[in-house]
C-alpha cells in the first residue's frame, strides 16, 4: 500500500472515530441538560402537584390564560377558527387511519397522548412536553415539541434509550425541513439554523412539568402500558396544539 493511500485510510478512520465520539458526546449532553433542567424547574416555576390536573403551561398566570373562544383555549396558544379546523382535520384523519393500524394522537394543550385502534380510543395518558410547550418546533434547541404527522422509526426497549423505553419519531420530516428553509429564505432565521432531531415518546415523565428538549414524556408505568399494545415501527403519530376536546 502506498504511503499516501495508507495516510488517507488512517485519516478516514480517525474521522469516523471523531464523528462517533461527537454523537456520543451529544447524547450525553442531551441527557445532562434534561436532568439539570428538571432539578432547576421547581425554582423557576410553580409546579403543580399532579400532572393529570394540569392542562395549561405551568409558567403562565391567570391573566395570561385569558380566552376569546368557545373552546376555552388560552389566547397564547394562537387560537383561530382556521387553526382549530386544521388540527381537527388532522385528528379525524388519524382516527380514520387507525382502522389499518394503531394511531397515536398527542394534544399539547390537553397534555395527553391517546391511542386509537379501529376508530376507538383505547387508552389515554398524561404527558410532559418540551420546555416551550406552545410553539411548533422549528429550530434545534428551541425546547418546543413539534406539530404535524410523524411515524415511529425505532421502538427502543430497555437499554436502547436513556429514558426507560421509547419510540423514536421521524422528526424532522420533509415538511419540517421545508418550513425551516422557507423561514431562512425570508431571513427570519439564520441560514445556518438547524431543525434539531432525536424526538422521542419516552419514559421518565409523569412529573407534572414541561422539562424535555422537545420530546413527549410519559411515566414509566404508562410507557409499560403503551408498550403492551406492541406498537411497531411505522405507527403514525399526530401531534396537534389543541383540538381533541370541545372544551379546555
Confidence of residue 16 (pLDDT cuts 50, 70, 90): low
CA angle 158, 174, 125 (to 5 degrees): 40
Q: For position 8, what pLDDT does the model report? A: 60
Which has more confidence, 7 or 132? 132
Q: What is the DSSP letter of 76?
A: G
Q: Has residue 31 been placed in a domain? A: no
Q: Has residue 247 been placed in a domain? A: no
- CA–CA distance, 205 with 102 (Å, rounded to integer): 22
Q: For position 29, what pLDDT does the model report? A: 55
Q: Has residue 27 been placed in a domain? A: no
Taken in order 68, 208, 243, 137, the sign of the CA dihedral is positive
Q: Has residue 156 been placed in a domain? A: yes
What tens digit of pLDDT does each residue of 97-150 get?
A: 998 889 999 999 999 999 999 999 999 999 999 999 999 999 999 999 999 999
Q: Are 125 and 226 in contact (CB under 8 A)?
A: yes
Which has more confidence, 39 or 18? 18
The three three-digit cell numbers of residue 218, written as one number: 410519559
Choose the catalytic residue: 30, 158, 198, 215: 215
Q: Has residue 8 been placed in a domain? A: no
Q: Has residue 5 been placed in a domain? A: no
What tens digit of pLDDT does each residue of 158-210 get?
A: 999 999 999 999 999 999 999 999 999 999 999 999 999 999 999 999 999 99
Q: Catalytic annotation on 30?
A: no
What tens digit of pLDDT does each residue of 55-113 get?
A: 334 444 434 445 668 889 988 898 999 999 999 999 999 999 998 889 999 999 999 99
Q: Catalytic annotation on 158?
A: no
Spatial CB neighbours of 197, under 8 Å, sequence gap ≥ 6? 140, 171, 172
Query: How many domains does the chain divide into?
Result: 1
Q: Has residue 214 been placed in a domain? A: yes
Q: Has residue 13 been placed in a domain? A: no
- Domain residues for the domain of 186 are 45-240
Taken in order 35, 40, 45, 49, the sign of the CA dihedral is positive
Q: Which CATH number goes with the domain that contains 97?
A: 2.40.440.10
Residue that has been written with the C-alpha cell 451529544 in this structure = 26
* pLDDT tops 60 at residue 38: no
Choose the catalytic residue: 30, 158, 198, 202: 202
Amino acid at each position: 500500500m502506498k504511503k499516501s493511500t495508507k495516510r488517507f485510510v488512517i485519516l478516514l478512520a480517525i474521522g469516523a472515530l471523531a464523528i462517533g465520539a461527537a454523537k456520543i458526546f451529544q447524547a450525553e449532553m442531551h441527557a445532562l441538560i434534561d436532568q439539570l433542567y428538571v432539578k432547576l424547574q421547581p425554582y423557576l416555576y410553580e409546579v403543580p402537584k399532579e400532572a393529570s390536573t394540569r392542562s395549561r403551561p405551568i409558567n403562565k398566570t391567570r391573566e395570561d390564560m385569558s380566552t376569546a373562544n368557545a373552546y376555552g383555549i388560552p389566547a397564547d396558544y394562537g387560537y383561530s377558527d382556521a387553526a382549530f379546523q386544521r388540527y381537527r382535520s388532522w385528528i379525524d384523519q388519524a382516527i380514520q387511519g387507525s382502522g389499518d393500524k394503531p394511531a397515536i394522537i398527542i394534544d399539547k394543550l390537553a397534555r395527553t397522548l391517546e391511542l386509537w385502534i379501529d376508530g376507538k380510543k383505547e387508552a389515554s395518558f398524561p404527558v410532559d412536553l418540551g420546555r416551550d410547550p406552545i410553539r411548533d418546533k422549528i429550530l434545534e434547541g428551541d425546547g418546543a415539541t413539534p406539530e404535524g404527522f410523524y411515524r415511529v422509526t425505532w421502538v427502543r426497549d430497555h437499554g436502547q434509550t436513556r429514558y426507560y423505553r421509547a419510540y423514536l419519531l421521524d422528526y424532522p420530516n420533509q415538511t419540517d425541513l421545508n418550513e425551516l428553509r422557507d423561514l431562512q429564505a425570508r431571513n427570519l432565521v439564520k441560514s445556518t439554523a438547524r431543525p434539531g432531531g432525536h424526538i422521542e415518546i419516552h419514559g421518565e415523565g409523569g412529573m407534572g412539568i414541561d422539562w424535555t428538549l422537545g420530546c413527549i414524556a410519559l411515566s414509566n408505568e404508562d410507557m409499560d402500558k403503551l408498550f403492551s399494545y406492541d406498537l411497531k415501527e411505522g405507527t403514525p403519530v399526530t401531534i396537534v396544539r389543541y383540538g381533541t376536546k370541545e372544551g379546555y
